[in-house]
Structure 1
């Protein structure tokens, strides 16, 4: 594989096969624990190839070496191969056992970017848990990565298409590039404009084939798709031997917008993310309903360039095209209450439906689920690209989510009917438990769950009663359940969702929410209030009149 240290190559393996994974809602019971041996000469790679005749045609050792999981000298070393397999499984969202199986090898056949997944010593990783960058030594926190050459010095960035593809009309190519740049402009402190004919653009976009003069020749259909250089060298090249399309999930074609957003992310200074549904995740998506930046992509670009200002993608659009709006249209509402007081950001549409669950994830970000959609929040309020499909947040989440709670260890418990799915953010692959095993009544579903901010116990609400649960054992404490009205003064029965955020407790029922004071153990005056108005900044006319306690 031809490879330059300061460019990214998008690599599609010829003859890729479908990934053999459990469908959403059908988790594997239990999760194996990695126990890598301390040396020896029994190569797990050779052992797998000798016993598994169904393995697809991929050079496993070369793959793990090319993408930075081990060195060529590690080949045949049992401990180092096991560790390399384990690290790849974590990234590929495969049950991380350190042992090869068909699902792991099938994942190696997935379309992906050809940049290394791990470049020790060349990258600095950032985490929302730290104010300052930390060296890439602790792999317990999954996060975005920054590229090796920093960022653009000027936040006003120019671009120009100097060579087009014949697969699509020029106007379509032009508008698609606008959308790709606009995806980054909306959430960052960047603006983009099309360069004039006398300017040298920051991003030089070309559709080329074969050897095109930058030392990184394309190899025809089904190989390298595109590459983009990091700042301050924004050459973005797309392989014109590929079949480009703007359709989503179109057979035998590559979606140009998705690849362009990914490549421009590299050109702006981002490297690969380890969050599996982020645009900067190294694998090209086999299926997607929408093309949206995820919170991890947004955190990465804002670390480099600051928060969004609604920047413009181009000074003018070609005839016959309409630029994507730079911001979600304002409805003139900015909340002065709720956890995001002062925010004016809004989701794609108002009003939002009733929430099934609300929780704070392991990164400290609020997530809200309604049926099969999820709304994501940052400290600045709702992500304006919300909602997106829940399966894009985690493809193994069950279809019907009743409640979600994340504990301090990073484990997330998802309640669905009589099942409890345990997710470890390092693998996102679930273990299965049962509500009945916990000792909770199975007569009705669980309504809501939260991690209490002071004693760090899980509280589960069900109808008119609640349970206190040990977060490490999931065992119910003695003398529970208890009536909600006796111990949660002012909190209604039959909740829809609940969460604790920044030391405060919020419970939600329909479009109403109550704030519970953890000091006085009661709901303060002035509640309930509207979720649509205070959390999503939707106008009161759209959210309806808030009535008193039912």
Structure 2
């Protein structure tokens, strides 16, 4: 199968994951058959010999060349086989044996294994700080929300380690266009049906650069069954960012496809070093929009920082909040896909039910438009979280900011006098969102998209025992949690009573 297409201005390098040994027309003679085995008791059929030669022709014979003419000038079989054995850490014999054949038949990516320092030739990369992506066609194997989440998580593996943000858009042309389609799909690289080529992507660049396609004939899953979308997408997006293959068997960009547990999965060290070699590192602490200092900027001779609403990044970032302070006051809190998020001073702590470690993350590394959070709430039926700051709010799906935001909070139905929301929480069985502002609260009907009549009402009147004012609120396992200062009330909404009183810091593994 051809792996390269050409135009007058752009060479588009296509990358594919292969779930079986290469298929197709077997070409070439076998006058060098003496190089095929050094095992006297091993018998290989002619078809196996042909597969081995086809494998080397596809991945190692002139693989560094992008021209079909150059690739036609093939090297001796033995030289290609020795290079392949060396790449995979096998015993270099120049002869086919069972271990070498086993590696050839593993699931793998379809691009050549010849690379320069793990980067594509010429080191192509995205020059902008925000890369957009759009999914134009979804798979029927998963819900669209599940696809959105997996794709966003795959991109986040990279945005966690490099100063690059990824934003999903729902219309127009994105930097990276994504689709699921079987067979021919308009890029001169048709898929070959189930259990063959899984996906392919192009390296960064204008036009179709970075575009990523998934074979709809495969069975896409979020588990070890079928084909795991997160792992395949993360591998392909590595190519879309400029990474080639790695020789490290533990790397995501290693040529062969291997399932690993994706719970808490992070970019392996080899891949992290490779992508940081292209885009740089995230500086510890709150990142700025431009993490590389400009050398010709003159420092301010006045060392005394003054409050300044200037949107430029603050050279004196706020201190990291103290996690285990008994006086900890949350700015906001929300659930998100069965995990809890607690916001404070430009950061958030994430608490997962799957592992004990509490993660602290700068808000801007996930949602670049948002510097801090006043209130947040989740509507699970929509797979949406709404983040509120001042008189604006954003809709997010996982870590993906949805298009069309920010919007004004007045669109909820608030009067113009309301310019800030203290807390918000969604009640599942009533499908109402409660907004807390000062000493009062409002009830918003998510189904109708309107405020309920008769509001605002006093918090102390309808929720006795939780305090007169709410700083943060969230739902967890059927209970509501209202924070007022450092104190928190666990509240049974159906019975309208406080169950117990806690301290905020107890959620962060502080005892």
> TM-score band (shorter)?
0.3 to 0.5
> Larger relative CO (CA 8 A, sep 6+): 1 or 2?
1
TM-score, normalised with respect to structure 1: 0.45
Larger of the two Rg values belongs to structure: 2
TM-score, normalised with respect to structure 2: 0.48
